[in-house]
Structure 1
């Protein structure tokens, strides 16, 4: 490995549900866990926005 290898862009961390995990290091698993936790937070925030919109619509049409 040469000093030039450090300048190469690193592949972004990604995860495919159900993929093989045997070849991953503990650090790679930690990065994937963090990635998935961030995605869960993003999904939950979107769900809350949609639920709030639904409640507002229900309230408006019930009046």
Structure 2
């Protein structure tokens, strides 16, 4: 399995939302805003992990069906 580097994650578009998120100045945020941001990001991480799990399980089911 290949490890992704930052260029893989950020993509080539300068207006990419993930790029903007990673460049955002955190100094202007309060503790409550930072905690809310963390909670939102943790929710997005959980959603992404569920999508990965679904994709892996779907692939395994397809492989089993076609006996790859």
TM-score by length of 1: 0.70
Give distance in 2, aligned partners of 1:23 and 1:55: 46
Post-superposition CA distance 1:22-48 (Å, at most 9, x none): 111111000000000000000001111
* 1:23 maps to 2:13: no
Larger radius of gyration: 1
Give distance in 2, aligned partners of 1:42 and 1:26: 24
Which has the larger displacement, 18-27 or 32-41? 18-27
Instruction: Work out which structure has the larger RCO, using CA pairs closer than 8 Å and 6 or more positions apart in sequence.
Output: 1
Give distance in 2, aligned partners of 1:18 and 1:40: 18
Please list every run of 5 or more consecutive structure 2 residues that lacks an aligned counterpart in the other structure. 1-19
